Chains A and B, each alone.
Chain A
Amino acid sequence: MSAHEFKSPVVRWIDHRLPVFSMLHHTAHEYPTPKNLNYMWNFGSLAGLSLAIMIVTGIVLAMSYTAHVDYAFLSVERIMRDVNHGWLIRYIHMNTASFFFIVIYLHMFRGLYYGSYKAPRELLWILGVVIFLLMMATAFMGYVLPWGQMSFWGATVITNLFSAIPLVGDSIVTLLWGGFSVDNATLNRFFSLHYLMPFLIAGVVVLHIVALHRFGSNNPIGIDSTGPQDTISFHPYYTIKDVFGIAVFLLLLAVVVFFFPNAMGHPDNYIPANPLQTPAHIVPEWYFLPFYAILRAVPDKLGGVLLMFGAIAVLFILPWLDKSPVRSARFRPVFRIFFWLFLVNAIALGYLGGKPAEGVYVILSRIATAWYFVHFLIILPLLSVFETTKPLPKSIAEPVLTGFSSAPEKAFAAPRRL
Chain B
Amino acid sequence: MLKRTITILLLVLLSSPAVAAGGEVELRSRSWSFSGPFGTYDKASMQRGFQVYTEVCAGCHSMKLIAFRNFIDLGYNESEIKAIASQYEVKDGPNDDGDMFLRAAIPADRMPAPYANDNAARAGNNGALPPDLSLIAKARPNGADYLYSLLSSYKDVPDGKDVPEGLYYNTAYPGHLIAMPQPLYGDDVSFSDGSETTIEAVSADLTQFLMWAAEPKMEARKRIGVAAVFFLCIFVIVSYLAKRRVWADVH
Contacts and interface: CB of A to CB of B under 8 A. Distances in A.
Nearest to A266: B17
Chain B binding surface, main DSSP class: helix
Interface in A62-87: 74, 77, 80-81, 87
A259 B222 contact: yes
B18 A254 contact: no
Given A250-B235, A354-B18, A232 B229 contact: no
A102 B229 contact: no
Nearest to B232: A251
Contacts, number: 133
B2 interface: yes
B161 interface: no
Interface string A255-279: 1111111111011101100000000
B17 A267 contact: yes
Contacts of B228: 254, 258
Contact of A87 (B16, B131, B221, B242): B221
A252 B18 contact: no
Contacts of A270: 135, 138-139, 214
A35 B250 CA distance: 8
Nearest to B21: A280
Contact of A267 (B141, B233, B251): B141
- In this complex, the interface size class of chain B, counting residues with CB under 8 Å from chain A, is 35 or more
Nearest to B221: A258
A232 B249 CA distance: 11
Interface residues of A, number: 56
A102 B225 contact: no
B20 A280 contact: yes
B20 A243 contact: no
A350 interface: yes
Interface string A290-330: 00000000000000000000000000000000000000000
Interface stretch (B4-12, B48-56, B152-160, B200-208): B4-12
Contacts of B139: 267-268, 270-271
Nearest to A254: B228
Contact of A77 (B16, B65, B143): B65
A403 interface: no
A307 B218 CA distance: 43
Contacts of A248: 3, 236
Nearest to A353: B14
Interface stretch (A7-15, A16-24, A118-126, A410-418): A410-418
Contact of A286 (B6, B14, B37, B239): B14
Interface string B22-37: 0000000000000001
A254 B225 contact: yes
Interface in B127-154: 131, 134-135, 138-141, 143
Nearest to B214: A270
* CB-CB nearest 10 A-B residue pairs: A258-B225, A286-B14, A270-B139, A281-B18, A251-B232, A244-B239, A247-B236, A87-B217, A247-B239, A270-B138
20 contacts: A39-B2, A87-B217, A87-B220, A243-B242, A244-B243, A247-B236, A250-B232, A254-B225, A258-B225, A258-B226, A262-B138, A270-B135, A270-B139, A271-B131, A271-B139, A280-B20, A281-B20, A286-B14, A347-B9, A354-B13
Given A102-B7, A244-B240, A264-B11, 7 more contacts: A40-B2, A237-B250, A243-B243, A251-B235, A263-B11, A286-B13, A355-B18
